[in-house]
Amino acid sequence: MALDHMRMKGRHAGVSRPYFDARTGASYYRKNGEWHHLYRLIDRENDRYVETIKRLTTGEILKHVDEPLSEHVGHGSAKPRGVPSEPDEP
């Protein structure tokens, strides 16, 4: 079985951060050892985040998110960091 994955990024001249980032294709999920089909769109110009994950063998939709990108917080690099612990007092 051949599996593929594609990623596209759109950038404006002179700006390093892409305004558009999309990926689609097969993605291996380590937690359950299954292949899934992933579609993810990050559209900064239109404030949109879309992600759909389907089980590759059955087509069952495991996750679907379609929301404004500005409301998509607490995921990936936007997760809150742990608060450093205070040193123990002697």
3-state secondary structure 18-85: CCEEEEEEEEEECCCCEEEEEEEEEECCCCEEEEEEEECCCCCEEEEEEECHHHCCCCHHHCCCCCCC
pLDDT per residue, tens digit, the chain (90 aa), is: 678 999 999 999 999 999 999 999 999 988 889 999 999 999 999 999 999 999 999 999 999 999 999 888 777 666 666 655 444 443
